[in-house]
Structure 1
């Protein structure tokens, strides 16, 4: 399955074209423009998990912060071997192959979430208060990423994702230790943050392929109740604006050209108390997760764009279904707003690249989260190094459905075959999970196809409740050998399967299905019954006449509440 998907992705890449910009990015009124003055719609991904791990990306969400994850690994294998793992992770997770693939898919920007500890020591670890110890290796990693970006004509946006001390109460985002002073509680942490940005700006001031400086990712801090709130109720945000003004002023002493990107409190979205725009080359970023993709969801930030006469940018979004991705991108691009989704890769199914952690990583997860025995040191280290190796691009599982949802579907509502296939003289078997690429209601229909829990105030809603293989609403599980199949195929849902028909003829269409309760499915409105039972069984659905050229069959759940489908077979008569 991995090989077949990868082959299809290569074919898909060749049909994608990136929107190319030229030279320095800058602000012109409410637009980001290039050197020629042409407006630029930034289309990008964030490299989450590379320099800063969040627990959920490794199935360690209960642990959360990177320093806690690292401590667990040290407990398993010791400090020396944990350091070997982290170096392998940094070496493998993001390489030039990732950036080249992004360019071929159509991305024109990449956002690098930086953990400050890659570049300097924490304030409490400095040999002397007020001193800054620099890690040249971390800067060199950014240098290499910039070289890859330049070679592939992709703008690199530097994002301080974990500021010294941590910028909020959502601890994993910034790897914050709540036992120590936060960014907002320590003048020394703020000084170090300003100095770090000065160092970065001095290093990259002459680099046009640096797209901008994202000053502080997602502040989420209540100044009325430090350590408890997320800043959404703050009405002034004085400290948030003051620090970003200080950073901007420091940058401008060494770098007059690059865009500075500011973010509000409340995960980037609370802009209350924002002073008059303090820099001519400034962009306002907002983040968007799990809400509706309607005009109301962006009305406030659009109003700020008008009143401050500065561009706005969807600096982070994602972690949802293809339906949500398509709708969000169509919404913001329709308003001339660029976007950056999150993340490029992780353990999981709903982003362009999936990391397969290998079977032994689950034992570490089970132990670390309290549900399993402690693995031996050698076994654990082998699992860690397999994970690090599998984070590399050539070991990743590409997700063509996600790329299709991001680049084609916002502008074209039709369907396409999931992988090229041809109905010829012999039987053709199509995996049920290999239904067409395309929007809900066209390529498939499912009762749940996105998570809107922020808008509804309810629980997070799974769309593909099997959380594997594809990122649509269709519910997919796997057999013991890893083969995907469709489950929870219920009344009113359908899946469409396209193929090229070699010559006119008649075919028998059958399906391999099962249902504990029984049901009725079909490729017409009448359908055929599925006898109740626990085993897979092949049932004939219909005989169809197909002309030469593009053809399709739509499988419908006519009366089902627990139907499962493994595959369809077209057999010539």
Structure 2
């Protein structure tokens, strides 16, 4: 069993354990953007939309198949092979309901009257001890047991995360699948009880009863990302409601003689801990508490600090909070950014000795995930659902090698993305793996302000760096992608093996939608070997092939660079062929 000693997490032998891994989001709670069903906005709305064309038994069968395929042992084995040592498991509370109880919840989203009826049903089931009791048959327990088994076989830990709590811990229904915003904190039953909170405590009591001696479980993550729990929504501004629930949950789990690490998440999407510090909690046992941060779209700089010491998503504040309160801290979610940001975050957190868990393992057409699920069409059609069930399986997913490389130690440096030889073809998107300033140079390589929605890759295609890659419709040998939006001074590096010395003819497949000419320099190991001139263009741009003759180049491994001297060009590929011999005395 992992336990806390001061600000560190230790195993049973007294060795420090730094948990680094991945979330498996989108599996046991469907978030619309992960599945590319954004207009449906939440799992409950997806379910209700599906019920327009299928029966409830058919709906349950589809979800059973989805859960059997989206994450399997093969996915966990893949994570372990990359060196990760934990998995955070986001759970929807409805997995611990019976099918009949879950159907009542699905119907509850139709109107306020149905919601009230569902709340009355919940209160009745709660009073009659009919919630979460059939551990042998409830899907949530079975799925947890599967993940624990898969992870233990690879010496990995599991964090149990209540991602969608009864009632919903905030107004963002995509995250917590609420029926009514903030009902966890507000909804009272006919007896005046905060019934959703009572049910949340009951669920964790049942989880503790089942897993209290299970050392495969690293932590209980009581409540994912409470947010907008404030006076603007009729609640307090000092987190008193969150304090009251956390205090109840901690006392309830400890009353079951469960010593697990307990992960607390602050207000404001998991980061703000006013009145939630260890001294403020109304608990008898203050051991084995861990404090969480969710790091998105913020600075990785060691000097960046928030003036609120209880707002801990910045690394400086995380370290200060850990040292002040002598509690472990852990980043339960991080990601949704460029590879440059990932590398900076991992480097900064590793140097501070803080564990982290990336969001998320796989998503449909996902550039920021480790695995990319191919597009499937619409979940509302039989063909789309069949394609989703096929495409989401591990064997059908495409690893994002550039994302994986971002988690490598800084000593890994720049690495080839593809084997490139001259003479030969170089696709523009096959620039090297590595950090901004080493593999490529771009004006905007990472997002460090949550208010700035601009994509780092403005074409949002192919790779997850600052380089801007767009889908294009052009003839072979184009792969359907091209570099674009290239500003003066930007460049891309390619590791190439020159097999034949001499001068080359370099052809480039280019387009220009600007009213002025563009110019690209071709460099080898920093020296200019040729210039590509692209005439002024039109809109929409027309693809054409331009060429130039290089200076003589030697054999061996080299760094080829495409450098933007005048902007406007889009570049799909470069083809290098030996230049015709120059006859002495000819012009």
Q: Which residue of 2 aligns with 1:389?
A: 390
Please, what TM-score do these two structures have when normalized by structure 1?
0.85
Give the 3-state SS of the residue equivalent to 2:231 in structure 1: coil
CA contact 2:51–2:59 (8 Å) conserved in 1: yes
Alignment CA distance shift 1:382-1:42 (3 Å): same
Matched, 1:461 2:438: no
CA contact 2:170–2:182 (8 Å) conserved in 1: no
Matched, 1:355 2:373: yes
Alignment CA distance shift 1:505-1:58 (3 Å): same
Deviation per CA, 1:495-515: give whole Å up to 9, x if none: 111133456555443322121
Give the 3-state SS of the residue equivalent to 1:496 in structure 2: strand
Alignment CA distance shift 1:241-1:546 (3 Å): farther
Correspondence 1:120-199 to 2 at 5 A: 120=97, 121=101, 124=119, 125-126=121-122, 128-130=125-127, 131-134=129-132, 136-178=138-180, 181-186=183-188, 187-199=194-206
Correspondence 1:301-340 to 2 at 5 A: 301-340=318-357
Moved runs in structure 1, 4+ residues, more than 6 A? none
For residue 343 of structure 1, the aligned residue among 353, 360, 371 is: 360
Matched, 1:514 2:521: no
Give the 3-state SS of the residue equivalent to 1:532 in structure 2: coil
Query: After the TM superposition, which of the residue ranges 507-516 and 338-347 deviates more from structure 2?
Result: 507-516
Query: After the TM superposition, which of the residue ranges 434-443 and 498-507 deviates more from structure 2?
Result: 498-507
For residue 500 of structure 1, the aligned residue among 491, 497, 500 is: 497
5+ long unaligned stretches in structure 2: 106-117, 189-193, 280-284, 306-313, 580-587
Give how far 1:84 is off.
Answer: 2.8
Alignment CA distance shift 1:223-1:530 (3 Å): closer
CA contact 1:477–1:486 (8 Å) conserved in 2: yes
Alignment CA distance shift 1:538-1:280 (3 Å): same
Give the 3-state SS of the residue equivalent to 2:171 in structure 1: coil
Q: Which residue of 2 aligns with 1:18?
A: none
Matched, 1:28 2:5: yes
Give how far 1:133 is off.
Answer: 3.0
For residue 300 of structure 2, the aligned residue among 283, 287, 293 is: 293
Deviation per CA, 1:151-182: give whole Å up to 9, x if none: 12211111011111111122221101117833
Q: Which residue of 2 aligns with 1:212?
A: 219
Give how far 1:414 is off.
Answer: 2.3
Q: In 1, Cα distance between the equivalents of 2:494 and 2:181?
A: 55
Q: Which residue of 2 aligns with 1:92?
A: 69
Give the 3-state SS of the residue equivalent to 2:374 in structure 1: coil
For residue 446 of structure 2, the aligned residue among 444, 450, 458 is: 450
Aligned residues: 519
CA contact 2:70–2:394 (8 Å) conserved in 1: yes
CA contact 1:54–1:64 (8 Å) conserved in 2: yes
Q: In 2, Cα distance between the equivalents of 1:222 and 1:197?
A: 21
Alignment CA distance shift 1:516-1:266 (3 Å): closer
Q: In 1, Cα distance between the equivalents of 2:441 and 2:151?
A: 38
Q: Which residue of 1 aligns with 2:531?
A: 527
Give how far 1:105 is off.
Answer: 1.5
Give how far 1:300 is off.
Answer: 2.9
Q: In 1, Cα distance between the equivalents of 2:185 and 2:23?
A: 23
Please, what TM-score do these two structures have when normalized by structure 2?
0.83
5+ long unaligned stretches in structure 1: 1-23, 365-374
